[in-house]
Chain A
Amino acid sequence: MKDDSKNVVDMDGMRVDDDHLLSMYIDGELDAERTISLAGRLKQEPALRARLSAMENSDRLVKKLYASQSADAGQALAALIRSENVAIFKPTARWREWATGAIAASVMAVVALSLTSEQSTFNPMTMDVHLAQALEHSPSRASGWEQLDGARDFRSVLTFPAADGRWCREFMLAHNESHWRGVACRDEGTWVNQVVGSEVFLERETQYRPAGAGDTEKVARFIDETAADVALGPQQEAALIASGW
């Protein structure tokens, strides 16, 4: 059977051997005439029967292997698909390295930040020179932080064009144990916060979770309503930063 030169037949212009015939037999793709012929041979040829049995056993194992590996397919993705208010700005993938551009409006769980005297007098999202410099020069990243100053860590998430022609950046700040998320747009050379929020829960960057009814989702909604196009890729963004916006 391992000698492909044996039992080679012509089938619709293709030369096929016993392994091809057995494979088509398993799949029910042989025509009636060849099926009858092969069935006759299987009765008389133990080696051919053994080969068929081995192939069928391989199929059984492959089915079992794939059933076991796909058993947990897509519960989280199903929730994402069901969410109607989802905007994907850039696909997420570990193997793309450049990740976390997916913005799920129903997921970000952003609570509007009340910049009032009720909170600490220190507002980490205040647009100061450190934050403006980071927005001006730092590339977006999927993970990790860069130290902004003594108290805050910064990460740009993505860069996108607004409908009014300005460039905007979504970014995150970490201060103490809290994470903050916001969008700032570049307005005649000056970065201006457009919307900011503190994150209630964001266990993993790529994890989508439905927001509670009380969450305001301001950041996500702002991006959804403002963005004129998808987020820039890393090379486009690098070129934009290098050009001075």
Chain B
Amino acid sequence: MSSLTAQQRQDLIDELPRLKRFCLSLTSDPSDADDLLQVTVERLLEKGMPADAHVAKWSHRVCRNLWIDEIRSRDVRTRYAQAEGAIEGAGTTTENSDESVQLDRVSAAMERLPPEQRAALVQVAVEGCSYAEAAAILEVPIGTIMSRVARARKALTEDLEWKAEREA
């Protein structure tokens, strides 16, 4: 039986959209993100959390650790092949909306980012976390967050510019 309190349950429900985005930032794959979110919630219900735990931080930590467990268990070469295929496919879109094309580009570019950079960028740029808050969630030093976010923005921006120039 779960040991979550009623307040923790409500906090966890409120946290779901943000947790979903965190899953996406880790996996860069919507299906994997759905699965990771499901497993994270199940783990939290199964194991509970301390009464004084910060639900957002705790749930993000559980989520991140589950994803680390998962990627350790996967065949790296298979994942690489799938990622390559996804990248190739991303360039063949026939979307006729400029915004859709841009979102496709940014989705592909985000997928190409190293996972740790992607996660840092999403925490800061999407969730609005300070570097200190992102560092606490991702369990790395603040300086590392600063560096990862900057490198992610640099890579993302240059990727999008290069893509736009190539397709112009």
Contact = CB atoms under 8 A, between A and B. Distances in A.
Interface of A: 2, 12, 14, 16, 19-20, 22-24, 26-27, 29, 51, 54-55, 57-59, 61-66, 68-70, 73-74, 77-78, 80-82, 84-88, 91-96, 102, 206, 224, 230
Contact of A69 (B24, B35, B157): B24
Closest 10 CB pairs of A and B: A74-B16, A73-B20, A88-B46, A23-B150, A20-B150, A61-B106, A70-B20, A73-B17, A19-B154, A91-B42
A92 B149 contact: no
A38 to B, nearest CB: 13
A111 to B, nearest CB: 23
Interface residues of B, number: 56
B17 A80 contact: no
A227 to B, nearest CB: 11
B161 interface: yes
A19 B125 CA distance: 15
Main secondary structure of the interface of B (DSSP, over half): helix
Interface string B130-147: 110000000000010011
5 contacts: A19-B150, A23-B154, A64-B103, A74-B17, A81-B4
Contacts of B110: 62, 65
B88 interface: no
B38 A77 contact: yes
